[in-house]
Structure 1
Amino acid sequence: MTILVTEARKTNAIRGDAFMERHFSGLVLDIGCGDDPVVPHARRFDRQDGDANRILDHLAPAQFDCVHSSHCLEHMSDVPAALAQWWALVKPGGVLVLVVPHEDLYEQGVWPSLFNSDHKASFRLDSPASWSPVSHELRALLSALPDAAIEEIAVQDHGYDHGLRRPIGAWGRGLYALGSWRSAVMRRLFGGGAAVGWADRLLTRLEQGLGRPVAQTDGAALAQIQAVVRKTAASGPPAA
């Protein structure tokens, strides 16, 4: 799945050399990375390689030192089942490094997602309840994996302006749909010239002042949760 590739690049920029060396030095599988693997030597698994929901149909279990996935799990049709299969690919002693959007920062209280219509699930951290009908509490989800020890788990909101978050009602959803339609029409009619880009940005700011939701991850901001989970003992593959 070639989805939100820039999010992986932004995440790598804040991880630091020690993190990269510790987790990505061995045999790495990157699920859903498109043409932008987390490290150059990672094996890629994307749409053209098969269905990531049933990845054990394509790859043998317990063969990777690290399984990495950034902004892919939310596109899976059955999140717990897909995650169990991804986990089965990790060697004993290896790690799963997972990044998913944070529902309050990314979806901002609206489902289906305004900002990515292919999202099938949302994620929260250390919150007992959610406004989302398809929410997963990530710590509980990962803790349920066999032989799993969570080494790190945290919200990453680098560059995110929490002051731009606001309750999104029907008016805001309408403004967002209208603005997205307008931008697409302007690009189609006038191309990508500087003047058109400037006018589009100005109109977008005016709409945001009227209550249009802000998709901050279109820029430099992060709105996600990262987790590192180590496999402490041998585990067999989940049942098909």
Structure 2
Amino acid sequence: MGFEAQKTNRIRGEKFLQTYFSGRVLDIGCGPDLVTPTAQPFDREHGDANHILDYLPPQTFDCVHSSHCLEHMEDVRNALAQWWTLVKPGGHLVLVVPDEDLYEQGYWPSIFNNDHKASFRLDKKNSWSPVSYELRELLSNLPNAEIIEIKIQDNEYDYALLRILPGPFGRFLRLLGKGTLWLHYKRRSLFQRFGLGKTGIDRVFNKIERFLGMPIAQTDGQAVAQIQAVIRKI
């Protein structure tokens, strides 16, 4: 998921940016996509975000921002607790994570990012994912935390392409689908290598994949499939 902060900023609007990204801002896991030009980046070259307190002192920042990084942490609760410790009293944590239904789409391990170690849901008691966290509960357990907003962002997302099937039949289709997905990428790479366009076989595969409910990486385009939360430290 590349340059997600830029896509999310277009959704947030100018008022949001001025409200939360003023003062001293830390952007964790930003890569080349800083949430604001004045933010201080913290990425792999700066250290291990799982143990960020080894590099930065507590209560240093007016805002700590992280977009699509928490799902890569080895210990989600511990990493989040350390990020929260960096926030000054009265400051904010702005967190964005993939929504497991919209992004992972019933497949685990993730087929779109094999470095994902956790998935996230919002206001749902149960999950198909074996490593799922309910985000509201997770954030509510932070000390002195007030959730200002928490919501699913699905701009440009086409729900007609989403199909998550629970139970044994769904698991069977997911196993079958993984093999189909492998063939899908293999044939795409072959077509690109030899400069081939759409063929009759390609169209047949597309129909099979749609019938099986194969997931489509909509976030490769302008769509977002995520949960955003803003938490204030009281």
CA displacement 1:152-183 (0-9 Å, x = unmatched): 00000111111111135223222212212333
| Structure 2 residue 23 is the aligned partner of structure 1 residue 9 | no
Query: Partners in 1 of 2:76 and 2:9 — Cα distance?
Result: 24
Deviation at 1:6, TM superposition (A): 2.1
Aligned to 1:238: none
CA shift digits 1:48-72 (9 cap, x unpaired): 1110000000111101000000000
Offset, 1:145: 0.4
**Structure 1 residue 169 and structure 2 residue 174: aligned?**
yes
- Report SS of the residue matched to 1:154: strand
- The answer for unaligned runs of 5 or more in structure 2 is 166-172
Q: Residue 79 of structure 2 aligns to a residue in which SS? A: helix
Aligned residues with identical type, % of pairs: 60
- 1:5–1:33 contact (8 Å) kept in structure 2: no
Distance in 1 of aligned mates of 2:126 and 2:48 = 30
Which runs of at least 4 in structure 1 moved beyond 6 Å after TM superposition? none
Equivalenced residues, count: 222
2:170 corresponds to: none
Report the equivalent of 1:76.
73
Distance 1:101 1:46 in 2: 19
Task: State the TM-score, normalized to the length of structure 2.
Answer: 0.89
Write the mapping of 1:205-224 to structure 2, written as runs, cut at 5 A. 205-206=206-207, 208-211=209-212, 212-224=214-226
TM-score of the superposed pair, with normalisation by structure 1 = 0.87
Match of 1:113 in 2: 110
How far the C-alpha of 1:206 sits from its partner, in A, is 4.5
1:179 lines up with 2:184 in the alignment: yes
CA distance in 1 between partners of 2:8 and 2:208 (Å): 29
Distance across 2 between alignment mates of 1:184 and 1:71: 27
Provide the secondary structure at the position in 1 that maps to 2:139: helix
User: Matches of 1:7 and 1:208 in 2, distance apart?
Assistant: 27
Structure 1 residues 102-141: aligned runs within 5 Å: 102-141=99-138
Shift of 1:207: 5.3
1:85 matches 2:100:
no
Partner of 2:61: 64
Confirm or deny that 1:152 pairs with 2:149: yes
CA distance in 1, matches of 2:162, 2:129: 17
Q: What's the counterpart of residue 97 of structure 1?
A: 94
Which letter does structure 2 place at the counterpart of 1:228?
Answer: V
- Distance in 1 of aligned mates of 2:83 and 2:188: 38
Distance 1:217 1:81 in 2: 28
Shift of 1:210: 4.2
